Amino acid sequence: MTKSIDQYYSPWVKGIPMYISNHIEKAWRDPSLHRMMSNENPLPPSDKVLEAMAKYSKMANRYPDQGLVVRTKIAEMNGLEGPYNVMIGNGSSEVFDNIFRMFIEPGDEVIQHTPCFGIYGLRGKLLGATMVSIPMIYKDKAMHFDPDAILAAITPKTKIITIANPNNPTGNFMDAQHFVRIAETGIPFVIDEAYVEYSGLGLSQVALTKKYSNVIITRTLSKAYGLAGMRFGYALAAKEVIDQISGSLLPWNVGTIPMWAALAAFEDTESLAKRVEYNNSEVEFITESFKDIPGFVTLPSKSNYILFDCGPTGKTGKDVLAFAETKGIILRGETRKYDSEGWFRVTIGSKEENRLFVATVREFFGMAEATTDSLN
Ligand SMILES: Cc1ncc(COP(=O)(O)O)c(C=O)c1O
């Protein structure tokens, strides 16, 4: 008797479904909705990026090269020696995939700091890893990293430790000294800097890659650069590490158009500065907007999203999401944690969207319109 196809799947991948972001599907189906849920940038690409896209789209009949020009630019921007310190990918999610593939065998452990971005778990499980989730500490209306608990969770099976800095969805940075403590363990340490540009590269941990070959930095153009739909991300590390993890790259994984558009985005520093300034002033506007709602917690954010806990008000995040939906706003829900059902996250939208969001939340909590004119 022949075996059924079920018996041929790798045991650790069996039953893993396709990942679908239902909120993104919904937003594409109805463009009138306010997409305040996926940490996208509300501003469209700059003219310089659009010009590069148009120019290289005319050469779309040709295969791309390995992106030596853009990789050289990235190395320069980060004080690294050259393109051999940089691996590029189709978004930083793909970069994570490439890194994980080069280290993980079924049964290995990956340490993540939760709540965090879901791709680590998705890719880890696909490769048969056990995800070890270390919760952040929620104290004094803020979320705190717990490096001691991360170090204590290391076992002989630990193959990767990953931390986002700043973290999604909490929006905060870990103190620099703790990165050194984790780097010193020698265990592959992936620092996800998807949102670091909102605070500037001065807060990057990239310098650690020169001293510790186990440190790998990942970045993306999906956030401050505003090119989520283009798909471009990269990893920074010691030459020998980039050489090895690049062994898992699919040939021609990054297309000609994204490669050259990314270069244009890096060169257009003025446009990045404007985007960052816009974002940070809108984060401040929203952060200031709910201070008078008793029990409502707004977590301080250094990114393009803000996490809230309305648990102490007696309401749930789910209720806020449902009410926002009646106004055409899609927010992001969060699972129950720290004894609260009150979590939800907003992504910075256009000025109008942010004001609509504030008015909606205030209405939900029975508050009058905020007097925020001075912040407009
Ligand atoms: C912390 C973090 N890392 C990485 C990414 C992935 O970005 P991309 O695959 O678009 O580069 C995201 C996206 O939301 C994120 O929040």
Residue 369 pLDDT level (bands cut at 50, 70, 90) = confident
Range list of β-strands (E), 223-304: 233-236, 297-298
- pLDDT tens readout for residues 329-361: 999 999 999 999 999 999 999 999 999 999 999
- Residue in the block written with tokens 């396709």: 18
What mean pLDDT is reported for the chain? Answer: 96
For 257, list phi and psi in degrees, rounded to 5.
-65, -55
- 220 Cα to the center of ligand 1, angstroms: 7
Q: What is the pLDDT of residue 371?
A: 52
Question: Are residues 238 and 80 in contact, defined by beta-carbon separation less than 8 angstroms?
Answer: no
Residue 187 pLDDT level (bands cut at 50, 70, 90) = very high
Evaluate: CB of 93 within 6 angstroms of ligand 1. Answer: yes
Determine which residue's CA is closest to atom 3 belonging to ligand 1: 194
In which region does residue 141 sit, left (phi positive, over 0), alpha (psi from -120 to 50) or beta (all else)? left
CA-CA distance, 100 to 159, in Å (whole number)? Answer: 9
Q: How large a percentage of the chain has pLDDT more than 90?
A: 97
Report pTM.
Answer: 0.96
Evaluate: CB of 91 within 6 angstroms of ligand 1. Answer: yes
CA-CA distance, 341 to 24, in Å (whole number)? Answer: 23
Q: Provide CB contacts within 8 A for 243, sequence distance 6+.
A: 84
Domains and their CATH numbers in the chain: 5-43+270-375 (3.90.1150.10), 47-268 (3.40.640.10)
3-state helix, strand, coil in the chain (%, to 5): 40, 15, 45
Q: What is the pLDDT of residue 236?
A: 98
Evaluate: CB of 228 within 6 angstroms of ligand 1. Answer: yes
**Closest ligand 1 atom to the C-alpha of 167?**
1
Question: Are residues 48 and 268 in contact, defined by beta-carbon separation less than 8 angstroms?
Answer: yes
Determine which residue's CA is closest to atom 14 belonging to ligand 1: 39
Please report, for the chain, how many H helices and E strands are present, in that order.
13, 15
Residue 1 pLDDT level (bands cut at 50, 70, 90) = confident
Question: Are residues 272 and 265 in contact, defined by beta-carbon separation less than 8 angstroms?
Answer: yes
Question: What is each CA distance from 67 to 53, 131, 247, in whole angstroms?
Answer: 15, 33, 15
- 257 Cα to the center of ligand 1, angstroms: 20
Half-sphere exposure of 53 (CA within 13 A, CB side): 13
